[in-house]
Amino acid sequence: MDWNAWDIEPGSSVDEQLIALVQQRLGVELPPLYLELVRYAEAATPGIGTFAYGNGYACISEFFDFSLNDDPWTLLWYASPGRVPGLAAGSLAIARDAGGLLICLDFNSPRVAVEIFDPDSANRYPVAADFQAFVELWQP
């Protein structure tokens, strides 16, 4: 994937060892294209990342830092039990928009779907059947 096409600046220290450790801590196998993204930019901030969901639009503000840290704004921080009240079991927040909506991977679906979770209302909105289809939705 040419991540530069979405105005994502390269910069990552993510390697196979870190991926294995993070996946082990999470207890899931992350989608290959998502792993490709974090190897390119571990905390990507796409310049082109607006997508439709439900009756609205969201724009990716940032992907959460992919590391073993569980500091705020990291993947593992959001994955901590009870960190996001109302987030369904099997959902993993990987990014957010500027309004606070969380972009999540849904491991309860066969192809690991992408959904929006609104922490204020605890509503979930389907976005794409998988991470590849999610990336293909991005527009300026």
Q: Is residue 12 pLDDT above 90, yes or no?
A: yes
The CATH number of the domain holding residue 93 is: 3.40.1580.10
Query: What is the reported pLDDT for 19?
Result: 98
Confidence at residue 54, expressed as pLDDT on a 0 to 100 scale = 85
What tens digit of pLDDT does each residue of 70-103 get? 899 899 999 998 899 999 999 999 999 999 999 9
* Distance in angstroms (rounded) separating the CA atoms of residues 118 and 116: 7
Q: How confident is the model at residue 121, as a pLDDT?
A: 95
What does the mean pLDDT of the chain come to?
Answer: 95
The pLDDT-based confidence of 140 (bands split at 50, 70, 90) is confident
**Number of structural domains the chain divides into:** 1
How do residues 95-118 score in pLDDT, each as one tens digit? 999 999 999 999 999 999 999 999
Q: Can you give the residue range of the structural domain that contains 118?
A: 3-137
Residues 6 or more apart whose CB falls under 8 angstroms from that of 97 comprise 58, 59, 60, 61, 103
Q: Which residue carries 């927040």 as its tokens?
A: 93
Burial code (b: 16+ CB inside 10 Å, e: under 16) for 30-59 equals bbeebbebbbbbbbbebeebebebeeeebb
Q: In this prediction, what percent of the chain has a pLDDT beyond 70?
A: 100
Q: What per-residue confidence (pLDDT) applies to 63?
A: 97
